[in-house]
């Protein structure tokens, strides 16, 4: 499921809080981070994952990757919500034609239950 990124600016003056796309609460915890480094329209992408203090990096075909960008660099940040159990959340950030695009991707019933 896809959802628009929403923020709340009422808690901190110079910062905004991400809100959960499922329950609209701000209590999110960051998990794994996936970085996709791709030259424009290249067939291969360098995927680097940071999770639990470990770093894994490999070059893979872009067509079979999770890269949120259809043409260039992308970034996925996995989140868990304190209020939503059994939901896998990913904040997708993609570069496309000079724009930085963001959306949530989430699926109910898919969280493995691991802590961040």
From residue 16, give the alpha-carbon distance in Å to each of 5, 9, 101, 111.
Answer: 12, 4, 17, 26
Query: pTM of this prediction?
Result: 0.83
According to DSSP, the residues that pair with 36 across neighbouring strands are 47, 74
Average pLDDT over residues 32-51: 97
In angstroms, the CA 108 to CA 81 distance is 12
Across 56-91, b (16+ Cβ under 10 Å) vs e yields eeeeeebeebebbbebbbbbbbbbbbeebeebbbbb
Check residue 13 and give its pLDDT.
66
Residue 113 pLDDT > 50, yes or no? no
pLDDT digits (tens, 9 = 90+) for 57-68: 999 999 999 999
Residue 6 pLDDT > 80, yes or no? no
């Amino acid at each position: 499921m896809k959802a628009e990124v929403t923020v709340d600016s009422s808690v901190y003056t110079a910062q905004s809080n991400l809100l959960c796309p499922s329950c609209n609460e701000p209590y999110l915890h960051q998990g794994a981070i996936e970085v996709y480094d791709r030259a424009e329209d290249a067939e291969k992408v360098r995927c680097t994952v940071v999770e639990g203090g470990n770093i894994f990096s490999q070059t893979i075909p872009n067509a079979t990757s999770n890269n949120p960008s259809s043409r260039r660099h992308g970034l996925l940040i996995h989140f868990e919500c304190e209020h939503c159990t059994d939901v896998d959340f990913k904040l997708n950030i993609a570069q496309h034609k000079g724009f930085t695009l963001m959306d949530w991707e989430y699926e109910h019933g898919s969280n493995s239950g691991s802590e961040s």
